[in-house]
Amino acid sequence: MRKACLEWEWIDRVPKVKMYQEPKRRVRWITPKQAGALLNALPEHQRDIALFALATGLRQSNVVRLRWSQVDLERRTAWIAADEAKGGEDIHVSLCDLAVEVLERQRGKHAEHVFTYKGNPIRYVNTKAWRNALKRAGIADFRWHDLRHTWASWLIQNGTPLYDLQEMGGWKSAAMVRRYAHLAPAHMARHAAVVDGLLRVTSTAQ
């Protein structure tokens, strides 16, 4: 509408348009026990992909498109270039032991692509096998992207600061990471205790 008014001069003024309120982004995560049940229900090639996603927090596209040129097993790192990252910035991934083990199992299967099936690069993960595995594991309302939510939720629940999580996950906006803040009650409780201490000193002095 602005272009029609200011650039193309098709209309005299920009009408006021009431926008619909955007829904809040959902945060769906599963427990380690549920994750174990899901991994056990998946076929081997998908199990390794899901395990790698849970171990790194990488988005689906970055996992399935991962190339060996993006991996350094000696330094235990992987990286996603800015043009392949949703946030438009490079993502540096520190690989934990499980992530390294997954990559070691893929060695020699394909010269370029990390994750393959019967010699061909994997393109899709939201398959019938994935949906059937969810049913067998008794997990409902769960998407592949929720593996990333699960990774972030586990880190926050175990004391990872929001700023560090933002760097690890490659989120451009801090607001995107704050949606996990409610999962860190123990961390917030320490800050709340500061006020408790001050009030107790004040009440004692009176």
Catalytic machinery residues: 59, 86, 145, 148, 171, 180
Q: Report the SS3 class of residue 113.
A: strand
CB of 154 closer than 8 Å to CB of 33: no
CA dist 67 and 159 (Å) reads: 31
CB of 58 closer than 8 Å to CB of 80: yes
Angle at 160 between CA 115 and CA 148, to 5 degrees: 30
Q: Report the SS3 class of residue 79.
A: strand
Number of C-beta neighbours around residue 166 at 10 A: 20
